[in-house]
Amino acid sequence: MKKNYYIQDQIVQIREDHCNEFKGHKNISADNLPPHTKKKKTKYGSETTSRRAISRTLNSFLNTGNGGTVYLGILDNGKVNGITLTEYQKEHIELGLIDLFGRYKPPVKRHRYTVKFVQIYKDEKEAEECEKKNAENKNITELESNDYTPYTGPKTEHDLRSSKHCWCDKDAISSSNTGNEITSYIVEIKIYKWDHDGILDKNDGIGEYVNIHPIYEDEEGNSYFRREVSQISYNICDLERLARYETEKRCKDIIYNLEEDIKRLESLLKCETVEKKSS
């Protein structure tokens, strides 16, 4: 069973590939990137950026249709570094994702992604003790859940489209300055694979029968595709070629299934005729 926690500085078993990416920061959308990390012209005329928004990877996982997971707080070499987050900052990340996917064209439906905050411990011993305590606390909260009040959204609006510190970040800094220890997490943002025939994805894609996964434009109007461990931007010709290829592939599958159905029905019919004749 997959462990529900990480150990600080450990190297994880997962590798970066077509469906896994590690990020050392939490800049969800392009407007969260600090100005110094944005495009700069070099003396050779080419443009470089030192940091890319998480949105670009999420967009590529959606557009390939196969899904994938972005791990915030794992370094490029697979080392667990972690991101310290207060409850308010966790809420900021969740709302930031909802805001981002609402700006995609078409908007991304809520069932296509999940965000999970997985705690980091300093070693296995601490992990075992804390997980045991958490499980006990969970039982208590479940028992007391009769007086549960439903979540009604943040008390103060988070500044979701800015590169500057939000009030929740300032709150975390002052809390940490007064000696409070803030919990460290790996944030797992998972995009689910497109399911042509699934109840939730049915009739939501392109083409009435083929139901191919939608191609999403990100908050800047770009569409990315995942290739091994990087993203490439597609132009309209690339998109047309891709749509043609995927439609053909999907139709082949549908035709094959229909042919198999016909064969099965024909053999059933034959059996019935033979039975009738013999009786």
Binding test (CB under 5 A) with Zn ion, winner from 93, 120, 166, 187: 166
Nearer to Zn ion, 80 or 85 (CB): 85
Least distance between Zn ion and beta carbon 240 (Å): 40
Beta carbon nearer to Zn ion, 87 or 253: 87
Residue whose tokens read 């460290």:
184
> Could you give the angle at the alpha carbon of 209 between the alpha carbons of 207 and 210, nearest 5°?
65
Select 168 or 191, whichever has its Cβ closest to Zn ion: 168
> Which segments within the chain are labelled E, that is strand?
6-7, 20-23, 40-41, 47-48, 68-72, 83-84, 113-121, 184-191, 224-227, 230-233
User: Residue 149: is it exposed, middle or buried by C-beta count within 10 angstroms (0-12/13-18/19+)?
Assistant: exposed
In the beta sheet, which residues pair with residue 6?
120
Q: How many residues bind Zn ion (CB under 5 A)?
A: 4
In this chain, which of 168, 172, 186, 191 binds Zn ion, going by CB under 5 A?
168
Closest distance to Zn ion from the beta carbon of 80 (Å): 24
The interface region with Zn ion, picked from 106-114, 150-158, 184-192, 236-244 by CB under 5 A, is 150-158
Q: Which two tokens stand for residue 227?
A: 């290739």
> Structure tokens of 252?
């082949």
AA identity, residue 75: L
Quick check: 29 binds Zn ion (CB under 5 A)? Answer: no
The reply on whether position 158 binds Zn ion by CB under 5 A is yes
In angstroms, give the least distance from the CB of 92 to Zn ion. 3
What does the per-residue mask of binding to Zn ion show for 64-93, with x meaning CB under 5 A? Answer: ----------------------------x-
Instruction: Output the smallest distance, CB 87 to Zn ion, in A.
Output: 11
For residue 9, how far is the Cα from the chain centroid?
Answer: 24
Q: For Zn ion, which stretch binds (CB under 5 A), given 66-74, 98-106, 137-145, 166-174?
A: 166-174
Residues in the chain: 279
- Nearer to Zn ion among residue 30 and residue 93 (C-beta): 93
Does position 226 bind Zn ion by CB under 5 A? no
Angle at Cα 66 formed by Cα 64 and Cα 72, nearest 5°?
95
CA 22 to chain centre: 12
Nearer to Zn ion, 38 or 170 (CB): 170
267 φψ region: left (φ > 0), alpha (ψ -120 to 50), beta (else):
alpha
- Cα 25 to Cα 71: distance, rounded to the nearest angstrom: 10
Residue 84: what are its φ and ψ, rounded to 5°?
Answer: -80, 130
Residues found near Zn ion in the complex (CB under 5 A): 92, 158, 166, 168
